[in-house]
Amino acid sequence: MTIFKANEEYLVKNDFSTNQILTKLAFLTLFLTVFINAFLSLL
């Protein structure tokens, strides 16, 4: 039971860090899209 609980906590932490990475990637993609659009409109 203890091993199962520890494994569950590990999975939750792992999922949380994966979510953080995906969130950062999403913001980065959004920022790059806005930046490129602004750059192209200046040209």
What is the domain partition of the chain in residue ranges?
1-43
The pLDDT-based confidence of 8 (bands split at 50, 70, 90) is: confident
The distance from CA 30 to its chain's CA centroid, rounded to whole angstroms, is 12
State the pLDDT at residue 37.
95
> How high is the mean pLDDT of the chain?
85
* pTM higher than 0.75: no
Give the chain's radius of gyration (CA, Å): 19
Which tens digit of pLDDT belongs to each residue from 24-42? 999 999 999 999 999 999 9
State the pLDDT at residue 24.
92
The DSSP secondary structure of 1-43, one letter per residue, reads -HHHHHHHHHHHHHHHHHHHHHHHHHHHHHHHHHHHHHHHHH-
Q: What gap in Å lies between CA 9 and CA 3, rounded to an integer?
A: 10
Q: What gap in Å lies between CA 37 and CA 32, rounded to an integer?
A: 8
